Amino acid sequence: MIEPILTGLLVGSIHSGTPLLYATLSEVMSERAGIVNLGLEGIMLMGAVVGFATTALTGNAGLGVLAAALAGGLFNLFFGFLVITRRANQLASGLAMMFCGVGLSALLGVSFVGSKIKGLDEIRIPYLSDLPFAGPMFFNYDILVYLAGPIAVLIWWMLFSTRWGLTLRAVGENPSAAFAAGKNPYFVQYQALFIAGMLGGMAGAHLSIALAKTWQEWMTAGRGFIAVALVIFSKWHPLRAVFGSLLFGGAIALQLQMQAWGVPISPFLLDMLPYLLSLGVLAVWGGARRFEAPGSLGRVFQGTE
């Protein structure tokens, strides 16, 4: 009795945690470069709609994911134009990008409401997926789930073991010092935002192509903001983001499972769980972790003139 429940919960956390992980990695990337991106919600929506539309039109879900990543990256470059080139306020620009993503995705997706797609195939790993207990639990997912962990490691490696990552983190800590060391903070921030946008687009694509397999207006339902909270929870670290995403994915999975079991609690109250968990986690850890944030997070680099 207890075994299928646990399996269901774990599989659910992995499924629901994957888009959160991509979104959190996206935010880690831009915040490490010193840019708070509240437009993540909009990027995810753009990724979700572009990915879904491409999949529906071409029948190829892989192409959908690629298109979503590209759309997210390009969309985020515009955010970059506002906050890097035009030196606009990051929070207001992020919210404007969110509005834009909500509206634009609704406009793009209007003819796709209600259409069905096959979505990303689940890949059964030969032999391993036949294992009695671990098989269905760990080896029967779509490609984006399998890639999520390695991508987190890749980003960790890029940020902490390459010269490029060192520059990026230096820009996030102190852009003037990075500039003095001969780096171009603007260029590095644009690169970070493009990669972040691609990750955000993939997060949205996983929601629409792999999980829901439908398109719906504002289907991200605040996951972009949950990811912003998760970044603080994971101390701006890509690997800790994996655990954070699994935990929050678990909260979403628990809520879905409890509805499936018919637990007599209103689904609306259960739906609050991830948001309240985010707030609780921030309240407990947020204050103490402020000092671990990148030094120039949210500040506008005014150049050197």
Nearer to another protein by Cβ, of 104 and 212: the residue is 104
Phi, psi (deg, nearest 5) at residue 151: -65, -35
| Phi-psi sector, 298: left (phi>0), alpha (psi -120 to 50), beta | left
Q: Residue 65 and residue 263: Cα distance in Å, rounded?
A: 36
**Does residue number 263 form part of the binding site for another protein (CB under 8 A)?**
no
* Residue span binding another protein (CB under 8 A) among the ranges 102-110, 123-131, 187-195, 251-259: 102-110
* Residue span binding another protein (CB under 8 A) among the ranges 59-67, 97-105, 154-162, 242-250: 97-105
**Does residue number 218 form part of the binding site for another protein (CB under 8 A)?**
yes
**Does residue number 87 form part of the binding site for another protein (CB under 8 A)?**
yes
**Does residue number 261 form part of the binding site for another protein (CB under 8 A)?**
no
Q: Residue 282 and residue 300: Cα distance in Å, rounded?
A: 25
CA angle 170, 176, 181 (to 5 degrees): 65
| Helix H or strand E encompassing 142 | strand 140-142
Nearer to another protein by Cβ, of 59 and 103: the residue is 103
Q: Which residue from 16, 15, 28, 13 is spatially nearest to 227, judged by alpha carbons?
A: 28
Query: Cβ 284 to another protein, closest distance in Å?
Result: 8
Query: Cβ 4 to another protein, closest distance in Å?
Result: 28
Q: Residue 191 and residue 193: Cα distance in Å, rounded?
A: 5
**Does residue number 125 form part of the binding site for another protein (CB under 8 A)?**
no
Contact 47, 205 (CB under 8 A): yes
| Helix H or strand E encompassing 66 | helix 61-80
**Does residue number 160 form part of the binding site for another protein (CB under 8 A)?**
no
Q: Residue 245 and residue 265: Cα distance in Å, rounded?
A: 25
Nearer to another protein by Cβ, of 17 and 109: the residue is 109
DSSP string, 224-292: HHHHHHHHHHTTT-HHHHHHHHHHHHHHHHHHHHHHHHT-SS-HHHHHTHHHHHHHHHIIIIIHHHGGG
Query: Cβ 36 to another protein, closest distance in Å?
Result: 9
Q: Measuring CA to CA, how many Å separate 66 from each of 97, 129, 131, 217, 282?
A: 21, 27, 32, 21, 33
Query: Cβ 297 to another protein, closest distance in Å?
Result: 11
**Does residue number 1 form part of the binding site for another protein (CB under 8 A)?**
no
**Does residue number 82 form part of the binding site for another protein (CB under 8 A)?**
yes
Binding pattern to another protein, positions 23-42, x when CB under 8 A?
---------------x----
Binding pattern to another protein, positions 172-211, x when CB under 8 A?
----------------------------------------
Six token digits for residue 75: 């969309």
Which residues make up the interface to another protein (CB under 8 A)?
Answer: 38, 81-82, 86-89, 91-93, 95-97, 99-100, 102-104, 106-107, 110, 217-218, 221-222, 225-226, 228-229, 266, 268-269, 271-272, 275-276, 278-279, 282-283, 286-287, 290, 300, 302
